[in-house]
């Protein structure tokens, strides 16, 4: 998320009462979780496994729970609980706004767009031209909808990321400050949910079509002209490239890439990145022909077992 105005290291550290290392006038222009950081961003790290990744990332400022020498061109903020302090900053820069009506006065709605009864449009939402938003759709704050988009009843656009940190007393919520961005000519099925990014954008590319009951997790980027069948669930921080076809009831794990033009057959489970231009099936998903051969062999196991038992009995 980009900040509305650049802020200094000294001022940011003051907001969370933390010590810092670096030029007090070091400038911070955005706030982002580690997988989306850019130059000028502040991020956090609270586990030794990820110290090096954070310190060598594009982030200009890192909230960290161990004192390191400050890398050139960066700034460090020292905290006993970086997750807590990061969430404090998110809440400060993306304050929750209560909605007082079904269509916010701050929403921008393009010419020719139709809103059916009981549509909820949150604060600072932008909707393009000639869209049809069917009854009971909810579009959360800061979401962006392109032109010629169709969203069917009871879909939810821009709900919070499913992201929690486990603590001894329970789970602490990672507050979301990203957006959901729906590009032109997209159609979204009934009862589909597209979560906003934690700090960046969840993006549905131009011309993509989603069936009913599809779940798209935070910070996932779906390319152009993708088809996704009913009851599919896509975890966060996943990239689905252009022209992919995902049939019904497919589940896709987080942090993976589905290559351009891949086809994933119904009821498959994807646990690793897949090359483009191939057809996949199964749990875990693999190239379909290979998987079908495996299934054919499995069906022959009783016959093979019977033959082996017969041979054993003859020898004995």
Question: Looking at the annotation, which residues are catalytic?
Answer: 218
CA–CA distance, 74 with 89 (Å, rounded to integer) = 19
Q: Which of 148, 146, 173 is nearest to 162 (CA)?
A: 173
Report in angstroms the alpha-carbon separations of 306 from 36, 229, 314: 56, 41, 12
- CA 151 – CA 52 distance, rounded (Å): 42
The span from the CA of 212 to the CA of 98, in Å, is: 29
Structure tokens at 253: 């794990």
Phi, psi of 275 (to 5 degrees): -70, 155
What is the DSSP annotation of 147-199? SS-EE-TT-EEEEPP--EEEETTEEEE-----EEEE-TT-EE-TT-EEEPPSS
d(CA 148, CA 266) in angstroms, rounded, equals: 28
| Strand 41-45 with 61-64, pairing | parallel
Q: What is the dihedral of CA 236, 239, 279, 286, to 10 degrees?
A: -50
At 262, which helix (H) or strand (E)?
A: none
């Amino acid at each position: 998320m980009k900040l509305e105005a650049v802020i200094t290291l000294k001022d940011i550290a003051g907001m969370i009462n933390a010590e810092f290392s670096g030029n007090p006038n070091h400038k911070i222009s955005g706030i982002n979780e580690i997988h989306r950081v850019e130059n000028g961003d502040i991020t956090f790290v609270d586990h030794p496994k990820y110290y090096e990744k954070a310190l060598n990332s594009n982030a200009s400022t890192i909230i960290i729970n161990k004192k390191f020498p400050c890398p050139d061109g960066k700034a460090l903020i020292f905290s006993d609980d970086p997750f807590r302090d990061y969430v404090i900053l998110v809440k400060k820069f993306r304050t929750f706004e209560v909605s007082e009506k079904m269509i916010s006065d701050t929403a921008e709605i393009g010419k020719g767009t139709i809103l059916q009864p009981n549509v909820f449009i949150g604060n600072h939402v932008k909707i393009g031209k000639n869209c049809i938003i069917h009854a009971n759709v909810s579009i959360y704050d800061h979401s962006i909808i392109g032109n010629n988009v169709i969203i069917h009843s009871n879909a939810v656009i821009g709900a919070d990321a499913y992201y929690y940190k486990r603590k001894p007393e329970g789970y602490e919520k990672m507050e979301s400050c990203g957006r959901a961005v729906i590009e032109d000519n997209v159609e979204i099925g009934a009862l589909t949910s597209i979560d906003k990014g934690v700090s960046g954008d969840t993006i549905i590319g131009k011309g993509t079509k989603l069936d009913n009951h599809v779940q798209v997790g935070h910070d996932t980027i779906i390319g152009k002209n993708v088809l996704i069948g009913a009851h599919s669930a896509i975890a966060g921080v996943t990239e689905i490239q252009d022209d992919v076809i995902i049939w019904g009831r497919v589940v896709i794990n987080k942090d993976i890439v589905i290559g351009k033009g891949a086809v994933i057959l119904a009821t498959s489970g994807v646990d690793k990145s897949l090359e483009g231009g191939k057809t996949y099936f199964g749990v875990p998903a693999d190239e379909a022909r290979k998987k079908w051969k495996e299934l054919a062999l499995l069906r022959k196991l009783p016959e093979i077992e019977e033959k082996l038992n017969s041979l054993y009995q003859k020898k004995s």
